[in-house]
Each structure stands twice: as C-alpha cells, then as structure tokens.
Amino acid sequence: MTTPTKPTPPDPREKVRTFPTTPGVYLMKDGQGRVIYVGKAVNLRSRASSYFTEAAAIERRTAELVTQIRDIDFLEADSEVDALLMEARLIKDIQPTFNQELKDDKTFPYLEIFIREDFPRVEFTRTPQNRGTKLYGPFTNAKKLRGTIAVLQKIFRFRTCTLDIEDGDERWRWFRPCLLHSINQCTAPCNLRISKEDYRRDIARLRMFLDGKKARLLTDMRKEMEQASASLQFEKAVRLRDQLHLLESMNLRGDLEEHVQPEVFYIDPKKGVAGLKQIFKLEHPPRRIEGVDIAHLGGGETVASLVQFIDGMPFKSGYKRYKIRTVAGVDDFAAIHEVVARRLDRLRNEGESFPDILLIDGGKGQLSSAMAAMRALEIDPPFTISLAKREEEVYVPGEEEPRRLSRHSYGLRLLQYVRDEAHRFAQHYHHILRSKSTLGE
C-alpha cells in the first residue's frame, strides 16, 4: 500500500495574483508550513506581489527571505488601522524568524496605556515602562503608529498629555483644557469634564479594539446605545452613535500618514515648555504656543501660516493658512500686522483664549508690526516674541537688545521648532497655490 503524498502547494508567485486589493496581513511560509514572515498591506495583492520581483531577489533586506518562501496566505482587515494592529499581534504570538528584529531591537515603537492612572493616558514610546502599563506592539512603522493613535483618539477621545490627574482633586476644575477638547478629540479629564468611570470605560473599549475584538465591541456598543436611548440618556446615546459611525467608517479614512503629527521631535517637549517659563519668567508654563510666518508668491501675492503647539508638541488640527488681503506687493511688516489682527480678533469674537506665547518669525520690525496690530484692536496682548533666523536672536517687547539664548537651551530648541514648522507650512501653502496657478485652476 502506497503512502499518500502531500499535495504540492501552489506557486506563491501565482497565488498572490488571486489576493484581494483590500487591507490586511500576509503570512509567508517555508517548505514545512511554518510562518517565517508577517507583513501588513493597504493593498494585499500589490504588496505581496512585490516580493516576487527581480529587485526583491537582490535587495539586502529581502533576498534571504525570498529564497525560503514556499507558500503565502493572507488575512483581510477592515482598514489599514486594523491591519497594523493585526500584524503586531501576529508577530508577537508567532514570532516568525524574519520578524525577529522586532523582538531583539529595542528601538521599535509601542503603543502604551498607563492603566494604573485614574485617567489612563495613551502614548507612543520607544522606551516602555517595566510595569504598570499595557503594551501593544512592537510595530514595524513608527509613522503609521502615530497615525493610528491620531485616528483612534478621534474615536475614543483619550488623553495623550503627561498631566498627573487624580480623581476628586478639585483643583482641576479650574484648569484650562487644551484644544483637543474643543475639537472633540479628548474628553478633558484635566478639567473633570468626564467621570473616572466613564473615562475608563472608553479606555476599556480602546483595549478591546486593540486586542482584535472589534466585532464584539461594535455589538456591545450598539446594545449600550439602545439602552441609553431607552432610558432617555440621549447625550450618551448620541456619543455612542458617533463612535460607532467612526469605527465602522474607519476604512474610508485614507492613508494613515495623512493623520500623522511631524515624526521627528528634536527636543524634550516638557523640558522645552519648562525652559520657556523660566527664561521669560512666565507665571504659568506656556501650554499653547502659536507661530506665524509669511511667504511670497510670484507676482507679489502673499500668504501666511499659523501653527499651533500644545504642551510642546505640534497640533496639526490647529494649523491655519491665510491669503493676505490688504497688502499690495511684498511687505512682511504689513502682512504680519494683518495676520495677527485677523487671528486675535477672531479669537476674541468667538470667546476663545489667546495663546500663552505668540511667536513671530522675524526680527524687531516684525515684532513691532504684531504689537501694533494688538494696539489697534485695543486688546490685552498675549506674551509675544519674535525669533530672527540668522543669529537665532529672540526679540521681546520693551527690550532694546535681543536675547541670545544658549544653543543648548531646551526653550530655544522649542522656539526653533515652532518657527521652522510655521515656515514649512507657509511654504507648503505657497507651493499649492503656485501649482494651481500653473495649471490654470
């Protein structure tokens, strides 16, 4: 009696052509059926096929892997976020040979939840704590992890700040929430606007999603929404409805990197904020900093940018662009005057607070123009300074000579980051408008 032979698996080069074009993870196997590599993809067919090209066969990072692939499978995901999380879970559980660098290299990023805090915060980290936190990862792509955190924060509205918030401490009732609360990306436990129980319930939902229990989470949330509606808790029901909608439409959100904050951060944001408080003898740490820069188009058209930093970190949702309306030709001073006037007048009219620091890109002349705009509005100005790029000198109202801060100052590094980000954003707007002009749009 002959022993039946195992069927020969199909050629993986041919197999990948049948893969769907949806997000998911792919699992590469050796001749014994062992998973040797796990990867994620926005488009499974396109990404998996890239391993069976001449370039992949000679590329240092993939050459050895390609020689050992005998089979390949896939698991579909609802979105790129789901695929990213699924990849991390599978790598952690299976520990494939060609993913071992994730286990051995401590520089790969994690998502970390500080579960022992009354109001647990969520962080991106490359140096996780040894205890007291829940870790997810490691992840293969830092930028996409940052994008994932940004997307999930819009749904579960958790905090990412480092404030030490204790439940029942009445001092927090007088604390000013950051703008994340204003745009519904945080429930503001720093101002006790959510109970400890409700906040931790949101974190529990986040953990269910991160653990791959999305279907069960959606079912539980629908039941909770119906119960809230039946008991006339309409505000709670509406919030659950909105969260459900965001979770169900996550696959429509596009490339994760569109949600990413700038990835490289050159300073310690907490030390930068503390440094500015000390340098300028401010009463409180400058939690919100806004930076203004001007850019010129060909033909004399002028544009401006305003960037916003919260707790020393760039906050992209607070970025704004301006077309200069009242200035003919190239006149930086007049353009600064207009932008500052428009920004502060709008904040005043809408009952919003002014920034803790308003940073102007330029020297003494630009600073004088900004201060003149505030006098014209007859407002009590926020603390306003300018930073001149050539010598990195800081101009302060009322001081004849500029301040020259230490090149190693955390405060100066933060100001430079704000200034450079404002310049980058202004130039980006400049290029957009120039492209539209070139194309006749």
Give first-to-last CA distance, the chain, whole Å: 78
Q: What is the Cα Rg of the chain in Å?
A: 26
Average pLDDT, the chain: 85
168 and 286, same structural domain? Answer: no
- How many domains, in total, are found in the chain? 3
The pLDDT of 268-283, averaged and rounded, is: 90
3-state percent helix, strand, coil for the chain, nearest multiple of 5: 45, 15, 40
HEC string of 263-281 equals CCCCCCHHHHHHHHHHHCC
284 and 412, same structural domain? Answer: yes
**CATH number of the domain within which 387 lies:** 3.30.420.340
* Dist CA 199 CA 188 (whole Å): 10
* Dist CA 367 CA 337 (whole Å): 9
Q: Which of 94, 125, 153 is the last residue of a domain?
A: 94
157 and 186, same structural domain? Answer: yes
pLDDT tens string 416-425: 989 988 988 8
367 and 276, same structural domain? Answer: yes
Strand pairing category for 110-113 and 313-314: unpaired
Please indicate, yes or no, if residue 77 is contained in any of the structural domains. yes
Q: Give 193's DSSP letter.
A: -
H/E element holding 110?
strand 110-113
**CATH number of the domain within which 29 lies:** 3.40.1440.10
Task: Write down the pLDDT at residue 347.
Answer: 94
**Number of Cβ atoms within 10 Å of the Cβ of 73:** 15
Q: State how far Cα 373 lies from the chain centre.
A: 33
What does the angle CA 395 – CA 398 – CA 403 come to, to the nearest 5 degrees?
A: 30
358 and 287, same structural domain? Answer: yes
148 and 85, same structural domain? Answer: no
73 and 24, same structural domain? Answer: yes
Please indicate, yes or no, if residue 242 is contained in any of the structural domains. no
Task: Write down the pLDDT at residue 101.
Answer: 63
353 and 413, same structural domain? Answer: yes
Please indicate, yes or no, if residue 82 is contained in any of the structural domains. yes
420 and 277, same structural domain? Answer: yes
Q: What percent of the chain has pLDDT over 90?
A: 41
Is-contact 333 370, C-beta < 8 A? no
Please indicate, yes or no, if residue 279 is contained in any of the structural domains. yes
Contacts of 314 (CB under 8 A, 6+ apart): 261, 262, 307, 308, 417, 421
Dihedral over Cα of 357, 361, 362, 367: its sign: negative
Q: Which of 70, 94, 118 is the last residue of a domain?
A: 94
* Dist CA 399 CA 394 (whole Å): 10
Please indicate, yes or no, if residue 253 is contained in any of the structural domains. no
* Dist CA 363 CA 345 (whole Å): 23
Q: Is the pLDDT score of 103 beyond 60?
A: no
- Confirm whether pTM is higher than 0.75: no
Tokens at 346, concatenated: 């709008």
pLDDT tens string 134-159: 988 888 888 888 888 888 998 899 99
Give whichever of 205-214, 321-330, 343-352 has the largest mean pLDDT.
343-352
Please indicate, yes or no, if residue 241 is contained in any of the structural domains. no
Is-contact 25 38, C-beta < 8 A? yes
User: What is the torsion angle, in degrees rounded to the nearest 10, for the CA atoms of residue 372, residue 376, residue 381 and residue 382?
Assistant: -70
165 and 122, same structural domain? Answer: yes
180 and 136, same structural domain? Answer: yes
* Dist CA 242 CA 304 (whole Å): 35
* Dist CA 324 CA 318 (whole Å): 19
pLDDT tens string 157-212: 999 888 888 898 887 877 778 778 888 889 999 889 999 999 999 999 999 998 88
Is-contact 315 160, C-beta < 8 A? no
pLDDT tens string 15-45: 989 999 999 999 999 988 899 999 999 999 9
Please indicate, yes or no, if residue 235 is contained in any of the structural domains. no
Domain that holds residue 198: 110-211
Q: Which of 168, 193, 211 is the last residue of a domain?
A: 211
Question: Of the given ranges (39-53, 169-183, 386-400, 427-441), which has the lowest mean pLDDT?
Answer: 427-441
pLDDT tens string 42-70: 999 999 999 888 887 777 778 888 888 99
Please indicate, yes or no, if residue 138 is contained in any of the structural domains. yes
Phi-psi region of 297 (alpha: psi -120 to 50; beta: other; left: phi over 0): beta
The pLDDT of 267-291, averaged and rounded, is: 90
140 and 62, same structural domain? Answer: no
